[in-house]
Amino acid sequence: MAMEDFGGGGYSGQLKYDEKQNAMYCHMSALAGVIAVGMTFLGPLIVWLAKKDSSQFVDANGKEALNFQINIDVIAAVLLLLGFINEWLLVLPVLVILYGGVMAVIAGMKAGEGQLFQYPATIRLLK
């Protein structure tokens, strides 16, 4: 989604540097949660809650990042449980978390450029 399309026309004007930075942090903060397995949603949640009122752009990126990371954590948890049934499945949660990290970097880079990145195949719990 290009910036011109952002907010359905409800947003006007140029994005400020701090708006782009805070939007980028919404996505990139998920990487800190990779260390604490199953907590990739925590960084985006904290940044979004702290900065959502500062800008529509930050709010939209925060919601997108949070929705995606919640999806990633749920999928990884389900796959981890399935891994107890069949041990070869234990590699799948690791791959899902890695995918989530790579996608967070891509989305963060797009946010830094002033674009709203929409993660593919994401159930959006926050609208």
Q: What is the pLDDT of residue 6?
A: 55
Nearest to 30 by CA among 99, 116, 92, 120: 99
Q: What is the pLDDT of residue 13?
A: 62
Nearest to 48 by CA among 32, 30, 33: 30
Q: What are phi and psi of 81, to 5 degrees?
A: -65, -40
Q: What are phi and psi of 86, to 5 degrees?
A: -140, 115
Dist CA 21 CA 97 (whole Å): 24
pLDDT tens per residue across all 127 residues of the chain = 444 445 443 344 689 999 999 999 999 999 998 877 779 999 999 999 999 999 999 999 999 999 999 999 999 999 999 998 998 889 999 999 999 999 999 999 999 999 999 999 999 999 8
Dist CA 46 CA 65 (whole Å): 11
